[in-house]
Every structure is written in C-alpha cells, then in structure tokens.
Chain A
C-alpha cells in the first residue's frame, strides 16, 4: 500500500470537516473521491501532502508517517498536486513554470529540465506553448500545463483537486484525456471530481464521502450501478439524472 490513512480527524476551529476517515491506495491504483460539496473531499486530499494539518489519526505515504515528518519539502517532491484553479505562476513562462522547481531544488540542470519539459508538453499536447505566459492560455490549456509541471518532478503519486471544476464545458475533455493517459501509464492517482463519467471509466475504486466520513467505497461498476447506502443512491440519482 502506497497511501494508508487511518482514523483521520480534521477540524477548522469548531467545524469538524473529517471525522474518523480511513482508506488506502495501492501502487498504480486510480481512486476517485466523489460526494456533495462540503463533504470534506478536498480537505482529505490536502491533508495527504499536508497543505492542511490534521488533528488526529495517521497518514502513511510510502510507509512514512506524514504527520510526524520534519522535512515536508523533500517529501512533497514525490507527490504531484493539481489544483482546481490551476495556480500557474503568472510571472513565468510555461517552460519556466515547469522547470522552476526541479532546477531550484538541484534535481536537474537546465538542459535536462527542458528536455523533460518538452516531452511532457508533448504528452499534454502543448509543445507550441513553451515560451508563452500563462495569461495567454485557455483554462483547459492552463490545467494541462499544471499537470505537466507536477509531472516534471517525477512524482510517484498524483493528487487532483477538482481539476475540471473551473473549466468551460468544452475544455473538460482535453484535461480528462490527459489524466486518462496518465492512468493507463500506471500512475497512482487520487482524484477529487464531479465527473462521474470519468470516474466510471477510469477509476479502479470510487469513494463516496458525505459529512466528513466515507459512506461507501468500491469498484465503479458496483458503486454506480448498485449503491448500497441511501445517501449514495440519492447523490448519484441527483447527479446522474441532471439534464
């Protein structure tokens, strides 16, 4: 197991966002987390690389206890994260966005970083954008660059926090297809998403969260076609029947 989360508790002041959450992810597995807004999906994801500090329980990634870790920076290099709002650095070009971290951290020299950067730009289909600034890109292009930026660090796990929620509908497909490519290459991925079609097709396992707990989890075929819990049934009904 590459990620093990046990009895995780997270609160913002008096508001308890995660109540005793436990789940695990195997090497090469694609796990989609679905559920209504405010159910704690994003918070759970952000606890994994400690963008949020949990109050209780334990998180083990590659066997290391994340909550007790001293050097977060070296640890985070192994976990790529993609955000809803892309968060590209507006003061750098596309290639500089991609190569900034590995060059600063002494992982690669400029030549190596740019070669790998070009390969990744090819993967996301944006080789021609290497020297432009992010402000000239569409949302879908920005998100694909953000994925390339995260991959440049050679992460072993990729976390996606609602990667298509801020996109215009016609751009969702291009981002999902890049993510699908990654999944097929065997990347371990944890994805918070509202794209049920994608979860159904690509996920190995789907976790349904509500009110800070995992209500149900299972392979997509089971969870989508035969949800056991009433909350899951209601949620899926309201999401899937939307016209």
Chain B
C-alpha cells in the first residue's frame, strides 16, 4: 500500500496535467456544442423543410460515425488531404464539438416537444403570443425535462476525451500510457487514471442530482 501511494505521488503531476487537458477539452467542446445544438434544435423544430433536412442529415451523420473514426479521419485523413498538420487539441475540440452538438440538439428538440401541447393552447387562448408562450410556459418546463440528459451528455463527452489519445492529445489516458511505457506498471497506473475519471464524473452526477432537486416546483 505504501508503495502504491508513493507511485501515485510520483505519477500525480503528469496525471493531473492530463486531467486538466481532459477537462479543458471537454468543457470547450461542450460550450461550443451547446450553442450549435440550440441552433440545430431550432432548425429541427422549424416548419421549413430545408431546415429539417439539414438537421436530420447532421444528426444521422454524427450518430452514425464512431468518435474514434471521426477523430482519426479528421486528424490524419483530412490533414493528409490538405497537407496540414492539425493541432491535436484543435482537432480534439472540433471532433467532440461536432459529436456533442448533435446529441444536445436532440435533447433540446425532444425536451421542447415533450411539453404538453395543451400548455401552449392554454397560454395562447389567454392572449399570450408565440414568443411569450415559449419563454414563460414552454421553456421552463422543457429545461426541467432536459437537465438530466444534458448532464448525461456532459459525462459522455468527458469520457469520450479518452479516445482522443489516438490522435496524440496529451489527456489523462494518453499520459497514463506514457507513464506505463516508462515504468511497466499498467495495473497501478491505469487504476490511478480510472479513479481520477471516477471522481470527476461522480462529482458531475451529484451536481446533476442537486440541480434536478433545486428545479423541482411541485413538492
């Protein structure tokens, strides 16, 4: 046990560095994905046929391709085609932004559609206009429905960063592999990495629970 802790302290700076990259990449990707997701959801909910087609193609396209293939294709494939060497962090954020935006768009669209149509009718029949109805009646209810799947997507994206080791991003998984290549102690080092992921994700889950509880209006 003593040795295990000593080893952990030795690895800690490098692992912490990796964890930082992991969190920064996930946070940046989710930030961009959030806004793109909103725009996409508006397109998906619109009555304009062209918008719906773009929305559907985008969502099916992203959902149909594994993140690892997408990252490899972008970083090596597109890089080779254009004769450029992408910055791995840039490629990583682009990959995860595109991926998460499709899933978030589906969450936003589904959340709004899940609000009972009777709510809209009641608001409209009181004389409230379309946008007031959306802002005062539909969105507050939709957001409540959306919170758990949104946090779920945050967790998924955070875990997906580990895939980015394949395009040489120095995140937590990559740094673990580098350490193992030097000390040949995969059991210990991978367990460190696993525990670090676990702590961050459990913290996120607890936050999700708290937000859900806070947003309840019917007690």
Chain A interface residues toward B at CB < 8 A: 49, 51, 72-74, 76-77, 79-81, 83, 85, 87-91, 100-101, 104-105, 133-136, 146, 149-150, 153
Contacts and interface: CB of A to CB of B under 8 A. Distances in A.
7 contacts: A81-B125, A83-B121, A85-B118, A104-B128, A104-B136, A105-B128, A146-B122
B127 A76 contact: yes
B186 interface: no
Given A76-B127, A100-B136, A133-B217, A83 B141 contact: no
Interface in B104-125: 116, 118-119, 121-125
Contact of A104 (B132, B140, B219): B132
A88 B126 CA distance: 12
B218 interface: yes
If over half of B's interface residues share one DSSP class (helix, strand or loop), that class is named, otherwise mixed; here it is: helix
If over half of A's interface residues share one DSSP class (helix, strand or loop), that class is named, otherwise mixed; here it is: mixed
Given A51-B124, A76-B126, A104-B132, 18 more contacts: A49-B125, A51-B121, A72-B124, A74-B127, A77-B127, A79-B125, A83-B121, A87-B116, A89-B123, A89-B137, A91-B144, A100-B128, A101-B128, A133-B217, A133-B218, A146-B122, A149-B126, A153-B126
Contacts, number: 68
Nearest to A150: B126
A83 B128 contact: no
A79 to B, nearest CB: 7
Interface in B168-219: 217-219
Interface size of B as a range: 20 to 34
Contact of A51 (B116, B125, B127, B217): B125
A101 B125 CA distance: 10
Contacts of B79: none
Interface of B: 116, 118-119, 121-129, 132, 136-137, 140-141, 144, 217-219
B213 to A, nearest CB: 15
Contacts of B128: 73, 100-101, 104-105
Contacts of B137: 89, 91
